[in-house]
Every structure is written in C-alpha cells, then in structure tokens.
Amino acid sequence: MCCGAGFGPRSPEIGKLLRLTILNLAQPANRQTGIKAVATTLNSSRRAFLTSVGALAVGSVASVAFAQSQDPIGDVLSSPSRGNWDDQFDAQVSAKTSEAKVSTTTPIFSLETVNNTEQAIGQYQSIVSQGGWPQVPDTKKLQLGVSDADVEVLRKRLMVSGDMSPDAGISPSFDTYVDAALKRFQRRHGIPADGVTGKYTYKAMNVSAQVRLGQLQTNLQRFQQYGTDFGQRYIVVNIPATQVEAVENGRVVLRNKAIVGRIDRPSPIVHSQVSDVTFNPYWNAPESIVRKDIIPLMRKDPEYLTKNSIRIFGPDGQEIPPSAIDWNTEEAAKYRLRQDPGKINAMASLKINFPSPEGVYMHDTPSQSLFAKEERFNSSGCVRVQNVRDLVTWILKNTDGWGRQRFEETIKSGENTPVPVHDPVGVNFQYITAWSTGPGVVQFRDDIYGHDGVDELQMTAL
C-alpha cells in the first residue's frame, strides 16, 4: 500500500463519530469521556482505531486547529502529505528502532567496528552490482509536509541505502516516514538531523554508491594500518568526524564534539599519552600564528595585544612593549608572545598536554558557539573539545586529590596550575571517514583533507 493511501475508506458512522469527538475534546471537561467512547466504539477495527488516534491528536490542539480552519478533520483526511497512519504503523516503530542503532557505545577503533565495516563493504558491493541508487534532484528544499515528484526519487534513494523500509512505498508525499528516514541518513553522515534536504544533505546523498564503496575500502585499510588495541583507557579524536571518544575497558564512556584544524592548517595524526592537565593555562602563540594572524592584526589595531592580554618576551625573558616592535616587518616572529590566563585566553580554562612532534594539544575554548556549527574545521591544528571539563574529570579520576570540586575551585582561582596525570591515558588523533557501527548502519564523513583521493568527498571544500 503506497503512502498516498493514508486513511482508507471512511464510513459515515466513523466520520460522524470523529467530528463529534473533536468537538467534544475541544472542551477539557469532555476529553476523558471522549477518549473512552472512541476506544470502545472502534476497538474492533485496527484501521479505524488508528484513524481515531489521528482524530484525537487533532482534538488535543483543537483551539489552534479551529482558529486555522472551519473543517479541521476534513483538512487532515484530505491532506496529500499525511503518510500512512494505519498500515505503516509497525514500520514507524521499526524505523525508530533502526534510528537508535546509529548511536553506539562501541569505540570507532575496535574489532567489532572492523568486522562491521567488512560486512558493510559486502553490502555496498551488492548495491553497486545492482546499479546503485538514483541521483536526487537538488534544486528544492524538501521537508515534512511537502508533496513533490522529487520526493519519489528521495524515497527510492533512502530505500536503497537501508534508511527507509521498502514497505513504505513510492509516493510524492514527504510524510513522517520519509522524515524519520532522512534524519537517520543525516545522522549517519554527521549532518544535523533536521529532516530538511539542505546543501550538505544533497551532497552526501548524491555521492555514488561506487565512490562510497571505495571510501569504505580505503578506511578499512586505515583500520588495519593503525590497529585497534590502544589500551584500557584512551582518547580518540576522529578528525573528519570532529569528534572525541573517551574509551575505557572497550566501551565509549564519553563522546564530545570537537573543533579540528582547517584545511590549510590540518590536525596531524598523533599517537601519544596525556602527561598533564593545565588549569588556567598560558597560551604561547605558535610562530605560524604570529606570522599569519597576529602581525596583520597589529598592523590594523596597535592595541590588539593589550586588549587581549598578550605579552611579548625577548630571549632573555624580559617583557617588551608592543610599541618597541616594527609591525610592518615580521620582527615579532623572533619573540615569544604569551597570553595571560583568563576568560579571553585562547584555551579558556583547560589544556590537555601530551608529547607530539607538531606540538599540538587539546583544550577548552572561549568560543563555545563554534560547536553548534555544521562545519567544525576552524582551528590551527590543535583540538578544541566541547564539555572539556567532563573529559578532564575522566582523565583525572585516578589522580589522587583532583576530583571535580577541587579543579573547579582551581579554575575559579585563576592561577596557572599544571597537574601531572597518574593513570596513563593514551591520545590518538586519527583520520577515518567511513566505518560501520552495526548491521545496516554505515557512517560517512567529509574527507576534509582530501586523503580519500576523490574530490566529491571533500564536501566542505566544494
């Protein structure tokens, strides 16, 4: 049964009952009685009962509905985008179950993920051999309530990739089942699940099945290269996913959003171990940032360093006033520029240190709004972590005397305080753009640095 066939035939008796029910439910005192009457009268018919549920939903917002229409039940029954509220009821429940599988406590670097990815490769080989999926026209914004021929193509696309049950049928109606399927697709691709076909949703959707198969194969090789045994307690930063996982005893205990290096200042691959956590850190500006950012800013605004509590120090450790530097040259790059601890510090309240050839680290940020962005490739190579205090609580949980209360008090003091970590915690910056978290759940991310070798996978750069 196609989704355009929604409610099915209406008998005069049912129609009359529904109209009376809605009118009664508009009065709060009548709602309980009305609900019992509908349940009793329609209990013998599953189709009729589900129809009555739709009517009750209208009745629960009767004051709004009557303000908008003189015939609310007629509007619902004649809506071309209502979807199946009856025969597809079980399919909706199944869709919710599948949607939940997109999230998992299994670490991205695990034998389970590797096995799932190998199975996903077989699945995508089958999809490719059968002709792949259709290209969805990307000229319109499709969302819940729309009725358009392009929705038929969207349905086919979502069915082939396993995001939508074939039982939902082909229809031009963007109903609740298409909405749930599209949100599942978006979650699998690291796109905010708003159920709207925006720019990045279309880009992700119209990558061919053949290219996605190759992406899975490339990333399986990375898993084999990096291995999956990172110890009992470790952190993984998946750069393309802009995500941080804290893993303990084979399970993810924390998963945080991250901001990673932009294309011209990429975050490197790192295999290291946390040495210490610094509260109220100083920020020492890297030479690259002094040349590319600070010197041009000082040319525009000679008070920039003073406003941002950044001091200049010579080789002898003596402080140098900004006015003593010729900002029309790159003289400042010869000196050390250090920002004092505080709310405007580039690392805000926390810095997680570990040895690395590139000198990168993880840290807090005063620019929390960046975590709400769809694209989080904004740093100069280091990794900013959302809710970093939760991560630090976990890192220090076996370091005596450094529970959450003490380190919160330390942050409030404003004093620069490095704390060595007693219990080793590994740190791994990795580059994985495709993997599987379970049967039928394949994850894809933007190939931000172009390591997968296919231009159309660099969606942010296009």
pLDDT by residue (tens digit) across 41-87?
A: 434 443 333 333 333 333 333 333 333 334 433 333 333 333 333 33
State whether 379 and 441 are in the same domain: no
Could you tell me if residue 86 is inside a domain?
A: no
Could you tell me if residue 93 is inside a domain?
A: no
The first and second tokens of residue 403, run together, are 């529970």
| CATH number of the domain where residue 344 is located | 2.40.440.10
Could you tell me if residue 43 is inside a domain?
A: yes
The first and second tokens of residue 309, run together, are 């509590």
Number of domains in the chain: 3
State whether 336 and 241 are in the same domain: yes
State whether 135 and 256 are in the same domain: no
State whether 171 and 251 are in the same domain: no
State whether 426 and 317 are in the same domain: yes
Q: What is the pLDDT of residue 118?
A: 97
DSSP class of 163: S
Cα(440)–Cα(122) distance, integer angstroms: 11
Distances (CA, A) of 189 to 139, 217, 431: 20, 17, 15
Q: What is the pLDDT of residue 9?
A: 39
Could you tell me if residue 133 is inside a domain?
A: yes
Measured in residues, the chain has a length of 462
State whether 270 and 178 are in the same domain: no
Could you tell me if residue 90 is inside a domain?
A: no
State whether 118 and 266 are in the same domain: no
State whether 258 and 190 are in the same domain: no
State whether 29 and 170 are in the same domain: no
State whether 350 and 290 are in the same domain: yes
Cα(162)–Cα(188) distance, integer angstroms: 11
Q: How many CB atoms lie within 10 A of CB 327?
A: 19
Phi, psi values for residue 319, rounded to 5°: -75, 140
DSSP class of 266: P
* Residues 210-232, mean pLDDT to the nearest whole number: 95
Q: For residues 444 and 204, is the Cβ–Cβ distance under 8 A?
A: yes
pLDDT in tens, 143-189: 999 999 999 999 999 999 999 999 999 999 999 999 999 999 999 99
State whether 120 and 259 are in the same domain: no
Distances (CA, A) of 115 to 122, 162, 310: 11, 19, 50
Query: Helix, strand, coil % (nearest 5) of the chain?
Result: 40, 15, 40
Among candidate residues 343, 349, 352, the one with its CA nearest the CA of residue 396:
352
**173: domain range?**
102-108+110-229+435-462
Cα(438)–Cα(162) distance, integer angstroms: 12
> Per DSSP, which regions of 197-346 are E strands?
233-238, 243-248, 251-261, 270-273, 276-279, 283-284, 310-313, 319-320, 336-339
Could you tell me if residue 442 is inside a domain?
A: yes
pLDDT greater than 50 at residue 12: no
Q: For residues 294 and 332, is the Cβ–Cβ distance under 8 A?
A: yes
Q: What is the pLDDT of residue 369?
A: 83
State whether 362 and 407 are in the same domain: yes
The first and second tokens of residue 274, run together, are 């946390």
Mean pLDDT lowest among 77-86, 209-218, 410-419, 441-450: 77-86
The first and second tokens of residue 89, run together, are 């009821």
Could you tell me if residue 89 is inside a domain?
A: no
Q: What is the pLDDT of residue 101?
A: 58
pLDDT in tens, 365-413: 988 888 887 778 889 899 999 999 999 999 999 999 999 999 999 999 9
Could you tell me if residue 88 is inside a domain?
A: no
Indicate the pLDDT class of residue 456, thresholds 50, 70 and 90. confident
Q: What is the pLDDT of residue 71?
A: 41
